[in-house]
A = this chain, B = another copy of it.
């Protein structure tokens, strides 16, 4: 029988027994019935089985549980249910990792491009990438396109819509994409170097795929979705389509999943492992020291998982956002390495010399870093 394994952190409440917590988990995420009412065949074939437990501290353990692959069938939705369906409602269970090698054949495809594929498309091989967002919401199409032009002239590699810029009347999707693509072309003619525009396609059911195709037809260089709003299976659906456009995943709405010590997912698991398996070419995550809440070692762990080579999937570009400013570009780039895409927002908008000068400051610094060190 084919199986896959998931590693959990289990935090025991007062008086709770490890064996019982594991047994309950094995039942809850499969048959949802007490053992005594199960047939022998079901008990043997369907219920999860513990492979290993490790004590981490007084009341905290790690447990590796093996699950039948057939329980997930061929559906991402059902995999997510097995991974963290009903146990999401129970205390003291946190997901640390999954054995992706066994999930790659039947379920997950991973990124279509990955870091190498993106470098080939961007023709940038020896340094970290620069990225920024077009905002604020409420700007007109021509204002956003003008901003895009100025960022591009300043040399930003990747210019994306802010995730709050969807299809409002302020700047409707199709017109915005057309105008921003033109802005990229115009800037490229002026500078001889091409910046890339990624449009936000986060939308209601059905509409996301339409916008993905439309973005491609209109000449966008990539797209962004917020998979915790659209539904995680939508990200995977896009990654499987025959459309030649990289995908950025954005963490809006995902917060509580990764913000609790004893519940949910580690940031590493969500951004570095699950999103990679689901096909994100770039993973945006809340950077340490910004206005969000991860620490540096959590961010390093995301980078590590997104980039590690022993995976069945292509890599994902880590795209830390929040707290990265013109004045600390060097520090973050050295910390995260050349296979990162630094997302800088407000700091560019606040720069006294204006957008173009800010962009130039940002990108010049990236090129000057000695990546050997």
Contact with B along A34-74 (1 / 0, CB 8 A): 10111001100110000000000000000000000011110
Is residue A335 within 8 Å, beta carbon to beta carbon, of the partner chain?
no
CB distance from A99 to the nearest CB of B (A): 20
- Contact across chains for A230 and B229 when beta carbons are under 8 A apart: no
List A residues 58-107 near B (Cβ within 8 Å): 70-73, 75-78, 80-82, 84-91
Of chain B, the residue at the smallest CB distance from A205 is B237
Check: A353 CB closer than 8 A to any chain B CB.
Answer: no
Contact yes or no, B346 A85, CB < 8 A: no
A264 is an interface residue with CB less than 8 A from chain B: yes
Q: Decide yes or no: A205 and B226 within 8 Å by CB, A81-B163, A346-B33 being known contacts.
A: no
Is A255 an interface position by the 8 A CB rule?
A: yes
Question: A254: CB under 8 A from chain B?
Answer: yes
> Is the CB of A233 closer than 8 A to any CB of chain B?
yes
Kindly list chain B residues whose C-beta atoms are within 8 Å of the C-beta of A236. 204-205
How many copies of this chain? Answer: 2
By the criterion CB–CB under 8 Å, are B86 and A252 in contact? yes
Interface size class of A (residues with CB under 8 A): 35 or more
A296 interface contact, C-beta 8 A: no
A263 touches B252 (CB 8 A): no
Quick one: CB contact mask for A186-207 with B, threshold 8 Å, 1 for yes? 0000000000000000111111
Contacts of A88 in B (CB 8 A): 251-256
Tell me, yes or no, whether A289 is within 8 Å of chain B by CB.
no
Chain B residue numbers with a CB within 8 Å of A70 are: 168-170
Instruction: Return chain B residues, CB-CB under 8 Å to A237.
Output: 204-206
The smallest beta-carbon distance between A274 and chain B, in angstroms, is 12
State whether the Cβ of A293 lies closer than 8 Å to any Cβ in chain B.
Answer: yes
The A121-137 residues at the B interface (CB cut-off 8 A) are 133, 135-137
Say whether B203 contacts A75, CB under 8 Å.
Answer: yes
CB contact list, A100-118 vs B, under 8 A: none
Contact between A89 and B164 (Cβ–Cβ < 8 Å)?
no
Question: Does A244 have its Cβ within 8 Å of any Cβ on chain B?
Answer: no
Q: Tell me the A258-281 residues at the B interface (CB within 8 Å).
A: 259-260, 263-264
Chain B nearest Cβ from A40, distance in angstroms: 12
Instruction: List chain B residues, Cβ under 8 A from A37.
Output: 346, 349-350
Q: With an 8 A cutoff between CB atoms, is A371 at the interface?
A: no
For A163, the chain B residues whose CB sits under 8 A away are 81, 85-86
Known: A205-B231, A237-B205. A46 touches B137 (CB 8 A): yes
The answer, yes or no, to whether A30 is at the interface (CB within 8 Å) is yes
The listed residue (B253, B345, B350) touching A36 by CB distance below 8 A is B350
Residues on B with beta carbons closer than 8 Å to the beta carbon of A12? none
Residues of B within 8 A of A251 (CB): 88-89
Question: What is the CA–CA distance of A84 and B164 in the complex, to the nearest angstrom?
Answer: 11
CA–CA, A260 to B30, complex, Å? 26
CB-based contact B30/A137 at 8 Å: yes
Residues of B within 8 A of A252 (CB): 81, 85-86, 88
Q: Would you call A255 and B90 a contact (CB within 8 A)?
A: yes
Q: Are A85 and B229 in contact (CB under 8 A)?
A: yes
| Distance of A230 Cα from B205 Cα, bound (Å) | 9
Q: Please list the 4 inter-chain residue pairs (A to B) with the smallest Cβ-Cβ separation, ordered nearest first.
A: A231-B231, A88-B255, A31-B136, A85-B252
Given contacts A46-B137, A91-B259, 20 further A-B contacts (CB under 8 A): A30-B137, A33-B136, A37-B346, A41-B138, A42-B139, A71-B137, A75-B203, A75-B204, A81-B226, A82-B164, A88-B251, A89-B259, A90-B293, A205-B231, A205-B236, A206-B209, A229-B233, A255-B264, A256-B256, A256-B257
